[in-house]
């Protein structure tokens, strides 16, 4: 017998449709292959700027997501008690009219009584605009419990942060250091970048308590104690200052280091000294006299003293040369030996200063000075939630940016690079708008960047204007809102009662809440009058998540392959350092259920409510659907959701709406890129060519060059208020905390979670696996086979100390709760840290899974151990468990103790099965 | 047929870089997706939403901890699939001739029309590369995407196995080990490509590139500019700023 | 390895069947008429029954005929040919005995030899597998051959021979266990060699790659019930060899004693065969940190 004859060139599919993935937030381009009108295979789009053809485990499993049995099938109205699962199917007209009948009276009387929060949302420019036109101040997305510290820390320091704001120069960097990276964020780009570094043998260093994933391939690993990253970074800065290994030229030219700090007692103390024209100034080294900060040829003197006022640089030197940051002093707290800290500082200095790289490309800075080449320092960093989700996360993020700045590695070849529309300093962002007026839209966007106490979202009586208490003294810079405080505050009626909770894709009854069991109680709690404390809940999702059972009205969304979307420059785009980019989703298959794209539903609701911008003058709906909005909405004249193919099809950035725009995007593979000119590729905040290009491409209205804020004036303004200066004053009990947290120079203080932790010696963390996104992956027949349950990983020291064996469970106790969960041993782990994979544990019967699914028996959440409030302090108050600057939920401050309980087969707490709104999944579709 | 073809003119296989693999499982589901609709029977899943799901996958990624005697523990992510052995024991044990090694390029395949599903080839494989599909009753294994790598309907650059095309870190390389100048041959030579379980004499074609040495790199330590305690901040400023 | 009932029944029944057929073919018994019909029938039923049970192990039994094609390389294919040839060779002998045709005994002698060839091919299906060190040893064919010989001798009622065979079988079983227990270490496959990571240090599993089950875990990484191994070994030894030998010694070649001894031996053989699979550790288990 001879070899079988094979058909080596079978037809791959009937048709390929190119759209954007939504198996996580990474927004890769995908080729969706169709056979007989059905999805047959999904692969990465090689031409796409985000993933360049590659695709992760989730993306390639999308075919199981569009056929998942957990998909909701039709609008549902609750008919039994909340949480009972008693729903009836209703028509879309009934559903929309019901929603309007709840919302319309609120808009006319008290718009703030509608709270609209979105979870896994990539259309905030639409949802925020809708809420703004409704007139409620109560709108945000999930950033408050995700990574607002990272984002805001970056904006307030550099005018950008990591991920959508910027990334390492993967092609040139030679030393890459990552801190506390969440393995799902920017996942394929980071993996592609790491691959590039590995392929050319560049060095990768991981600073993380846990050595998995990216840290597993790192060439060196520093098993930092959680919450101490900032201290380690400041110690590195100390070493670099001590040795004079800092980029003085860079500091003098591009940062506020040479500006003078007002030393005069009074309301201006500690602010940047201004001249008669209210402009900051520098002392010119050539003359020793004041000179404009942006003057041509000026050589700012970092060491100047002017009438007793010292430069920011001198304040920096004073602080960071202090022995309190010496490696020998911080080593124990960081869990890293002093010698290793010194070695890392030496490595950074060596790569940055001994091996600079040059690109022969001239450019002109905003002062008009011409530079003949671009000099780079091939050291770069990346950080994410690991440093962000601590109560010192904002200052830690700032510290990391300071480290990048003193090494001169921001916006230079080999360092960190902004992605358009960033850089955008605080001044280029709006301030919060929050004043609710019945029947009127809000005066502007909800979320913004506070410059001083006068921008806090406070009512005249000083009480919070927002239900989540964002932009208050407790968290002045809460730029992403505080979704994690929404339900507790709404339940407590603090600061006021609301009527309707309107949620999109936010699994608040499970993995997206701290203290999950308590939140479930709050959602079903009734007042003395027998009515629900939170009277109405409208929820939109595509799948039967744990949250669905707690809604009164369910608006079923489409899956990502059945819908339009835009990934917009007005929102969270897909830019690269070399090009601005945006993209779309479009229905590559039609839904087989009575479901609608949520954004289309939102526009429909807006039209029915008569919201400005959503109706024509005659009251008819302005937009047919979301696709119509994407192509035709104009935020400013000529500026819409998408920058590509505007006007007659060849206008970029600015131009009239083009009815064929979406078709052009589809023909172009679902995305568009506006390429940054060669001369504008680096030094973007100061590069004239970039500033001009950014204006032309619609990111700014005028050029906005700026200096990096090493010394943060907005922060100092809050310190001043805490010191008693100014008309707007914090409550007395907040003063000490504000003075500490709002330090204008990056600082480190122990995480608040450390207080009162006697008896809770162990740090407990979660990580997101690369193959599972939040709770979404579990319904996926392929992904759940990879990771259908989770273990609590224990370091060798704890494993041996307690005599654990394979198959054992442990009881884990925090000041807030107790869980009993399966454990496994891990050696490559900080010796005082335990951890598990996030969001694997499921409520029984959720997501169309069997009641006995491993996700619901052995799988578990750490959330039960965490509270949105800290334990009561001496003053009898329960402070919020979050960063005092931004309100970022401090998930990673968690401290626990552990005991062995032997083998079991069910994690605790175990909840009963959740009522099913879709039948249990059987075979594969 | 179950006789091995002898040395093949081409030896197609993978080089898997353990220094680069982050364990993301992308290759696992890309493989599942392609082969669910490609060569032979679909890769079925039993009880996919139930308490004990179990399905056929041709590629799995394990995670190991390696404990050096004098350094912190390391984690190594380890993709595992068919190694397309030169002395493939799975081929010679097959009673029906379904299991065979292609004479032209050395790919080990199962002719599913001839497979009786006895499982003996899976028993003979040291690497767990073969999984019997519970729905089709035939043996499934990595085909090295034989329906991609020669496929005229695909653009040239896509004629690589699905796992290689999708790998986000570029930790998987595909090529001809019979050609000493191929990428896989060169990588294997430069990086000390490893055979798995050489003691079993299977002569695997695929090679694993070992993790590079980890640890602190000796940069010369930073010398302080001066004794700050003695010279004070002013002294430091004077020294540091005099360098501009 | 998963001790599937189909393969346990296959190897024990066909082993006993071919063992008994060998005695019939060699002319150790001289049955005639109905007795011949019943005895030959028993031999054939055991052998064919066992072979049929083996097809329950197949994913696509309708294609089983294809298993005859690869006799040049595959022991499983050879086993197919050997069993069919043996059964065909012995058919005229059986007919002759039953119907008293008085045909030549030569095919019977050849058939008897072929019975042991068949047993040998069966054993080599297992013994050839380097991946399962416990099986990959000469003791495996010896064990299978001893089982066939002992079972055949018991059913043939050859008391002295059967008792001697029982003793030899017991010794071979014990030797098999002792050799088998060392085999994995002797072969030298370890987690370090399986992953190639031994040069860095000791290797342990952090995550096994999938929390769901799969074919490999079910089929080749069978660890359930091994804790009863020591007890089962004693039971197997007692039932296969000690009790049948004592029964035959005490009761002589009485049909009832033979039947009971054979049943007892068969039960022991099944226990032994369960252990043969359950205790066999496949090297793929190294990837899962289990054996």
Estimate to the nearest angstrom the gap between the alpha carbon of A821 and the chain centroid.
29
Which tokens in the block code for residue A467?
């239900």
Whether the pLDDT of residue A838 is over 80: the answer is yes
CA atoms A281, A285, A287, A288: torsion sign? positive
User: Per-residue pLDDT tens for C114-126?
Assistant: 999 999 999 999 9
Q: Is residue B153 part of a domain?
A: yes
Q: How many domains does chain A have?
A: 3
Give this complex's ipTM.
0.97
Q: Is residue B3 part of a domain?
A: no
User: Quick check: A455 and A432 in contact, CB under 8 A?
Assistant: yes
3-class secondary-structure state, position A137 = coil
Q: Phi and psi for A576 in degrees, rounded to 5?
A: -120, 165
Pick among C3, C62, C79, C131 to test the B interface (most B CBs inside 10 A): C131
Residues in chain A closer than 8 A to B154 (CB atoms): 12
User: Per-residue pLDDT tens for A432-444?
Assistant: 999 999 999 999 9
Q: How many domains does chain B have?
A: 1
Which residues, listed in sequence order, are joined to residue A439 by a DSSP beta bridge? none
CATH number at residue B145: 3.30.70.20
Q: Which chains would you list as touching C if contact means 3+ CB atom pairs under 8 Å? A: A, B
The rounded distance, in Å, linking the Cα atoms of A180 and B143 is 38
What dihedral angle (degrees, nearest 10) is formed by the CA atoms of B15, B18, B21, B26? 50
Pick among B60, B75, B107 to test the A interface (most A CBs inside 10 A): B75
CA atoms A241, A245, A247, A248: torsion sign? positive
Per-residue pLDDT averaged across A778-789, rounded?
A: 95
Q: Which chains would you list as touching A if contact means 3+ CB atom pairs under 8 Å? A: B, C
DSSP H or E segment with residue C215: helix C215-219
pLDDT at B232: 85
Residues A335 and A222 in one domain: yes
Q: Phi and psi for B151 in degrees, rounded to 5?
A: -80, 110
Distance from CA of C75 to the nearest CA of A (A): 18
* Confidence grade of residue A847 (pLDDT, cut at 50, 70, 90): very high
Residues in chain A: 925
Among the listed residues A152, A668, A591, the one whose alpha carbon sits nearest the alpha carbon of residue A394: A152
Given its phi and psi angles, is residue C177 left (phi above 0), alpha (psi -120 to 50 degrees) or beta? alpha
Distance from CA of C280 to the nearest CA of A (A): 23
pLDDT at B243: 77
pLDDT at B228: 79
Q: Is residue B69 part of a domain?
A: yes
Q: Is residue B228 part of a domain?
A: no
Longest CA–CA span in chain A (Å) reads: 98
In the 8-state DSSP scheme, what is residue A832? T
User: Quick check: B129 and B141 in contact, CB under 8 A?
Assistant: yes
Whether the pLDDT of residue A871 is over 90: the answer is no
Shortest CB distance from A789 goes to which of C69, C209, C211?
Answer: C211
Distance from CA of A218 to the nearest CA of C (A): 15
DSSP H or E segment with residue C87: helix C75-99
Distance from CA of B215 to the nearest CA of C (A): 12
- Percentage with pLDDT > 90 across chain C: 91
User: Quick check: A842 and A778 in contact, CB under 8 A?
Assistant: yes
pLDDT at A880: 83
Pairing of strands A309-311, A305-306: antiparallel
Distance from CA of B236 to the nearest CA of A (A): 8
Which residues, listed in sequence order, are joined to residue A463 by a DSSP beta bridge? none
The rounded distance, in Å, linking the Cα atoms of B195 and B203 is 7
Q: Is residue A597 part of a domain?
A: no
The rounded distance, in Å, linking the Cα atoms of A478 and A456 is 10
pLDDT at A184: 66
Which long-range contacts link A667-670 to residues 24+ away (Cβ below 8 Å)?
Answer: A668/A644, A669/A18, A669/A29, A669/A45, A669/A47, A669/A48, A670/A18, A670/A19, A670/A20, A670/A29, A670/A45, A670/A48, A670/A583, A670/A584, A670/A585, A670/A586
Shortest CB distance from A57 goes to which of B25, B75, B211?
Answer: B25
Residues A340 and A214 in one domain: yes
DSSP H or E segment with residue A541: strand A536-541
Q: Do A785 and C210 touch (CB under 8 A)?
A: yes
pLDDT at A873: 75
Residues in chain C closer than 8 A to A786 (CB atoms): 209-212
Residues in chain C closer than 8 A to A784 (CB atoms): 212
Pick among A64, A787, A849 to test the C interface (most C CBs inside 10 A): A787
Pick among B95, B120, B194 to test the C interface (most C CBs inside 10 A): B95
Distance from CA of C68 to the nearest CA of A (A): 13
Which tokens in the block code for residue A121?
């949302």
Tell me which residue range forms the domain holding A738. 711-744
Residues A856 and A803 in one domain: yes
End residue of a domain, out of A419, A434, A455: A419
Output the pTM of the full model.
0.96
Q: CB atoms < 10 A from the CB of A354, how many?
A: 11
Q: Is residue B4 part of a domain?
A: no
Reduce the secondary structure of A626-654 to three states and give it as a string: HHHHHHHCCCECCECCCCCCECCCCECCC
User: Per-residue pLDDT tens for A464-515?
Assistant: 999 999 999 999 999 999 999 999 999 999 999 999 999 999 999 998 888 8
- Is C30 an interface residue toward B (CB < 8 Å)? no
Q: Is residue A635 part of a domain?
A: no
3-class secondary-structure state, position A554 = strand
Residues A737 and A831 in one domain: no
pLDDT at C152: 96
Which residues, listed in sequence order, are joined to residue A882 by a DSSP beta bridge? A889
Q: Is residue A91 part of a domain?
A: no
Q: Do A787 and C69 touch (CB under 8 A)?
A: no
pLDDT at A748: 97
* Confidence grade of residue B167 (pLDDT, cut at 50, 70, 90): very high
CA distances from B40 to B30, B112, B137, B146 (A): 16, 7, 12, 11
The rounded distance, in Å, linking the Cα atoms of A467 and A457 is 11
Which tokens in the block code for residue B84?
């397309």
Min mean pLDDT across B229-243, C40-54, C168-182 is at B229-243
CA distances from A895 to A699, A829, A907 (A): 43, 16, 20
CA distances from A419 to A572, A682, C220 (A): 11, 11, 51
End residue of a domain, out of A744, A762, A785: A744
User: Per-residue pLDDT tens for A8-20?
Assistant: 999 999 999 999 9
In the 8-state DSSP scheme, what is residue A198? H
DSSP H or E segment with residue A199: helix A187-199
Could you write out the DSSP letters of every residue in B161-227? -HHHHH-TT--EEEEETTSTTSHHHHHHHHHT-B-SSGGG----S-EEEPPPP-S---PPPPPPSS-
Which tokens in the block code for residue A736?
């000490």
Whether the pLDDT of residue B83 is over 70: the answer is yes
User: Per-residue pLDDT tens for A94-134?
Assistant: 999 999 999 999 999 999 999 999 987 778 999 999 999 99
Residues in chain B closer than 8 A to A223 (CB atoms): 72
Q: Do B169 and A924 touch (CB under 8 A)?
A: no
Tell me which residue range forms the domain holding B203. 12-209
Per-residue pLDDT averaged across A72-88, rounded?
A: 95
Q: Is residue A792 part of a domain?
A: yes
Q: Do A54 and B212 touch (CB under 8 A)?
A: no
Per-residue pLDDT averaged across A761-776, rounded?
A: 92
DSSP H or E segment with residue A522: helix A516-524
Estimate to the nearest angstrom the gap between the alpha carbon of A429 and the chain centroid.
17
User: Per-residue pLDDT tens for C231-275?
Assistant: 999 999 999 999 999 999 999 889 999 999 999 999 999 999 999
Whether the pLDDT of residue A300 is over 80: the answer is yes
CA distances from A873 to A712, A755, A761 (A): 30, 9, 19
Whether the pLDDT of residue A592 is over 70: the answer is yes
Among the listed residues A237, B154, A310, B54, the one whose alpha carbon sits nearest the alpha carbon of residue C210: B54
Pick among A15, A57, A182 to test the B interface (most B CBs inside 10 A): A57
CATH number at residue A391: 3.40.228.10
Residues A199 and A176 in one domain: yes
Which tokens in the block code for residue B56?
């056929």
Whether the pLDDT of residue B73 is over 60: the answer is yes
Whether the pLDDT of residue A1 is over 70: the answer is no
Per-residue pLDDT averaged across B199-203, rounded?
A: 95
User: Quick check: A645 and A670 in contact, CB under 8 A?
Assistant: no
* Confidence grade of residue A732 (pLDDT, cut at 50, 70, 90): very high
Q: Phi and psi for A794 in degrees, rounded to 5?
A: -115, 140
Shortest CB distance from C206 goes to which of B75, B122, B194?
Answer: B75
Reduce the secondary structure of A418-484 to three states and give it as a string: ECCCCCCCHHHCCCCCCCCCCCCCCCCCCCCCCCCHHHCCECCCCCECCCCCCCECCECCCCCCCHH
Q: Is residue B227 part of a domain?
A: no
**Cβ within 8 Å of B, A 262-281:** none
Cis, peptide link before residue A421, omega less than 30° from 0? yes
Shortest CB distance from A198 goes to which of B19, B102, B103?
Answer: B19
- Nearest chain C alpha carbon to B211: C197
Q: Is residue B1 part of a domain?
A: no
CA distances from A770 to A23, A185, A186, A628, B28 (A): 11, 9, 11, 35, 12
pLDDT at A515: 86
User: Quick check: A640 and A623 in contact, CB under 8 A?
Assistant: no
CATH number at residue A869: 2.40.40.20
What are the DSSP E strand ranges found in chain C? 202-207
End residue of a domain, out of A354, A388, A419: A419
Which tokens in the block code for residue A216?
């597993």
Residues A235 and A352 in one domain: yes
Q: Is residue B61 part of a domain?
A: yes
* Confidence grade of residue A869 (pLDDT, cut at 50, 70, 90): confident
pLDDT at B197: 95
**Cβ within 8 Å of C, B 87-116:** 89, 92-98, 114-116
pLDDT at B1: 53
3-class secondary-structure state, position A783 = helix
What are the DSSP E strand ranges found in B11-72? 12-17, 45-46, 54-55, 60-67
DSSP H or E segment with residue C218: helix C215-219
CA distances from A47 to A172, A669, A699, B30, B173 (A): 22, 8, 24, 18, 20
pLDDT at A182: 66
Which residues, listed in sequence order, are joined to residue A117 by a DSSP beta bridge? A140, A503
């Amino acid at each position: 017998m001879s070899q079988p004859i094979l058909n080596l060139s079978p037809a791959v599919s009937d048709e390929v449709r190119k759209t954007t993935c939504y198996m996580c937030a990474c927004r890769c381009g995908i080729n969706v292959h169709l056979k007989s009108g059905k999805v047959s295979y999904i692969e990465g789009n090689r031409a796409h700027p985000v993933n360049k053809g590659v695709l992760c485990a989730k993306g390639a499993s999308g075919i199981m997501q569009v056929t998942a049995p957990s998909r909701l099938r039709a609008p549902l109205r609750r008919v039994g008690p909340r949480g009972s699962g008693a729903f009836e199917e209703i028509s879309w007209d009934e559903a929309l009219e019901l929603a309007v009948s709840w919302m319309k009276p609120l808009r006319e009387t008290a718009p703030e009584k509608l709270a609209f929060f979105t979870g896994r949302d990539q259309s905030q420019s639409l949802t925020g605009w809708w809420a703004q036109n409704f007139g409620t101040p109560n709108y945000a997305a999930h950033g408050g419990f995700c990574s607002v510290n990272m984002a805001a820390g970056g904006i307030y320091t550099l005018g950008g942060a990591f991920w959508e704001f910027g990334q390492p120069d993967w092609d040139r960097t030679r030393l890459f250091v990552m801190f506390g990276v969440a393995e799902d964020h920017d996942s394929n780009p980071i993996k592609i970048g790491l691959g590039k570094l590995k392929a050319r043998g560049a060095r990768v260093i991981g600073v993380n308590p846990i050595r998995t994933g990216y840290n597993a391939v790192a060439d060196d690993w520093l098993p930092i104690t959680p919450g101490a990253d900032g201290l380690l970074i400041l110690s590195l800065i100390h070493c670099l200052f001590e040795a004079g290994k800092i980029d003085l030229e860079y500091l003098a030219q591009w940062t506020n280091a040479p500006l003078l700090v007002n030393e005069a007692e009074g309301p201006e103390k500690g602010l940047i000294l201004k001249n008669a024209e209210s402009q900051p100034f520098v002392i010119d080294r050539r003359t020793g006299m004041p000179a404009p900060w942006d003057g041509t040829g000026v050589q700012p003197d970092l060491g100047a003293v002017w009438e007793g006022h010292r430069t920011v640089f001198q304040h920096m030197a004073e602080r960071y040369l202090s022995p309190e940051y010496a490696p020998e002093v911080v080593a124990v707290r960081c869990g890293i030996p002093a010698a290793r800290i010194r070695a890392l500082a030496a490595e950074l200095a060596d790569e940055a200063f001994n091996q600079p790289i040059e690109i022969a490309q001239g450019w002109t800075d905003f002062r008009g000075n011409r530079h003949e080449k671009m000099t780079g320092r091939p050291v770069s960093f990346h950080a994410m939630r690991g440093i962000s989700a601590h109560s010192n996360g904002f200052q830690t993020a700032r510290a990391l940016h300071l480290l990048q700045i003193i090494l001169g590695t921001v916006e230079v070849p080999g360092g960190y690079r902004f992605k358009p529309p960033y850089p955008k300093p605080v001044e280029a962002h709006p301030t919060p708008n929050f004043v609710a007026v019945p029947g009127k839209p809000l005066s502007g966007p909800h979320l913004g960047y506070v410059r001083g106490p006068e921008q806090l979202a406070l009512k005249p009586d000083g009480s919070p204007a927002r239900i989540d208490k964002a932009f208050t003294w407790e968290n002045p810079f809460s730029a992403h809102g505080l979704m994690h405080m929404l339900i507790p505050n709404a339940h407590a009626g603090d600061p006021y009662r609301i009527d309707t909770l309107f949620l999109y894709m936010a699994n608040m009854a499970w993995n997206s809440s701290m203290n999950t069991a308590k939140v479930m109680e709050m959602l079903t709690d009734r007042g003395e009058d027998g009515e629900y404390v939170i009277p109405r809940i409208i929820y939109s999702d595509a799948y039967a998540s744990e949250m669905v059972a707690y809604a009164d009205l369910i608006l079923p969304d489409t899956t990502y392959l059945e819908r339009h979307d835009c990934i917009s420059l007005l929102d969270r785009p897909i830019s690269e350092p070399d090009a601005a980019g945006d993209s779309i989703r479009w229905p590559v298959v039609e839904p087989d259920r009575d479901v609608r794209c949520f954004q289309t539903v939102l526009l429909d609701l807006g039209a029915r409510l008569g919201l400005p911008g959503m109706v024509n003058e005659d009251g008819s709906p302005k937009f047919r659907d979301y696709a119509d909005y994407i192509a035709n909405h104009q935020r400013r004249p000529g500026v819409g959701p998408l920058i590509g193919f505007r006007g007659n099809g060849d206008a970029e950035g600015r131009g009239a709406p083009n009815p064929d725009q979406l078709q052009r995007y589809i023909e172009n593979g679902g995305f568009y890129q506006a390429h940054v000119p060669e001369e504008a590729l680096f030094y973007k905040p100061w590069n004239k060519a970039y500033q001009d290009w950014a204006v032309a491409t619609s990111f700014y209205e005028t050029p906005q060059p700026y200096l990096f804020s090493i010394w943060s004036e907005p922060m100092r303004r809050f310190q001043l208020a805490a010191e008693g200066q100014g008309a707007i004053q914090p409550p007395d009990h907040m003063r000490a905390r504000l003075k500490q947290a709002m330090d204008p120079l990056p600082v480190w203080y122990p995480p608040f979670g450390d207080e009162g932790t006697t008896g809770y010696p162990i740090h407990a963390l979660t990580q997101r696996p690369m193959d599972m996104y939040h709770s979404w992956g579990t319904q996926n027949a392929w992904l759940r086979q990879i990771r259908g349950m989770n273990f609590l990983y224990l370091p060798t020291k704890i494993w041996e100390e307690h005599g654990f064996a394979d198959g054992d469970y442990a009881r884990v106790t925090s000041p807030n709760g107790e869980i009993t969960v399966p454990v496994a041993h891990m050696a490559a782990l900080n010796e005082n840290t335990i951890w598990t994979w996030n969001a694997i544990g499921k409520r029984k019967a959720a997501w169309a899974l069997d009641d006995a699914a491993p996700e619901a028996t052995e799988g578990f959440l750490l959330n039960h151990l965490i509270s949105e409030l800290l334990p009561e302090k001496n003053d009898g108050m329960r402070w919020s468990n979050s960063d005092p600057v931004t309100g970022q939920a401090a998930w990673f401050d968690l401290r626990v103790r552990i005991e062995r309980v032997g083998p079991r087969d069910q994690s605790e707490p175990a909840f009963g099965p959740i009522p099913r709104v879709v039948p249990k999944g059987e075979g594969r579709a | 047929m179950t006789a091995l073809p002898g040395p093949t003119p081409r030896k197609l296989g993978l080089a898997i870089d353990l220094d680069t693999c982050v364990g993301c499982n992308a290759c696992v589901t890309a493989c599942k997706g392609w082969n669910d609709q490609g060569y032979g029977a679909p890769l079925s899943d039993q009880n996919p939403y139930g308490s004990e799901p179990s399905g056929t996958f041709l590629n799995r990624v394990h995670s190991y901890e390696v404990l050096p005697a004098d350094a912190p523990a390391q984690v190594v992510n380890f993709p595992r699939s068919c190694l397309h052995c030169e002395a493939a024991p799975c081929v010679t044990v097959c009673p029906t001739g379904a299991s065979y090694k292609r004479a032209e390029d050395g790919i080990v395949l199962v002719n599913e029309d001839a497979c009786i599903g006895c499982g003996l080839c899976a028993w003979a494989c040291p690497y767990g590369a073969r999984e019997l599909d519970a729905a089709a009753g035939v043996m499934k294994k990595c085909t090295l995407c034989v329906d991609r790598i020669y496929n005229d309907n695909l653009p040239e650059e896509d004629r690589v196995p699905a796992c290689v095309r999708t790998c986000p870190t570029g930790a998987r390389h595909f090529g001809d080990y019979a050609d000493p100048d191929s990428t896989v041959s060169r990588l294997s030579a430069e990086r000390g490509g490893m055979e798995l379980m050489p003691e079993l004499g299977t002569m695997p074609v695929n090679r694993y590139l070992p993790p590079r040495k980890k640890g602190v790199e000796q940069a010369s330590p930073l010398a302080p500019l001066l004794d700050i305690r003695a010279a004070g901040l002013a002294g430091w400023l004077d020294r540091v700023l005099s360098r501009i | 390895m998963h001790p599937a009932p189909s393969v346990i029944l296959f190897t024990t029944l066909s082993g006993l069947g071919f063992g008994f057929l060998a005695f019939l073919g060699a002319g150790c018994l001289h049955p005639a008429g109905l007795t011949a019909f019943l005895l030959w029938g028993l031999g054939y039923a055991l052998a064919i029954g066992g072979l049929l049970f083996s097809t329950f192990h197949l994913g696509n039994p309708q294609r089983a005929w294809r298993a005859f094609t690869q006799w040049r390389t595959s022991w499983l294919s050879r086993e197919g040919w050997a069993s069919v040839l043996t059964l065909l060779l012995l058919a005229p002998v059986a007919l002759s005995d039953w119907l008293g045709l008085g045909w030549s005994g030569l095919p019977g002698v050849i058939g008897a030899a072929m019975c042991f060839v068949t047993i040998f091919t069966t054993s080599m299906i297992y013994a050839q597998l380097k991946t399962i060190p416990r099986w990959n040893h000469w003791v495996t064919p010896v064990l299978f051959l001893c089982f066939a010989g002992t079972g055949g001798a018991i059913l043939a009622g050859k008391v002295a021979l059967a008792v001697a065979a029982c003793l030899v079988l017991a010794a071979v079983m014990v030797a098999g266990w002792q050799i088998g227990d060392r085999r994995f270490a002797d072969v030298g496959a370890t987690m370090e060699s399986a992953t190639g990571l031994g040069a860095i240090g000791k290797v342990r599993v952090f995550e096994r790659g999938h929390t769901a089950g799969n074919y490999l875990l079910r089929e080749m990484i069978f660890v359930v019930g091994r804790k009863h191994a020591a007890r089962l070994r004693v039971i197997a030894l007692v039932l296969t060899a000690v009790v049948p030998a004592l029964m035959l010694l005490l009761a002589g070649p009485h049909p009832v004693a033979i039947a009971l001894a054979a049943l007892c031996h068969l039960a022991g053989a099944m226990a032994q065969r369960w252990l043969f699979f359950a205790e066999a550790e496949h090297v793929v288990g190294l990837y899962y940190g289990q054996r």
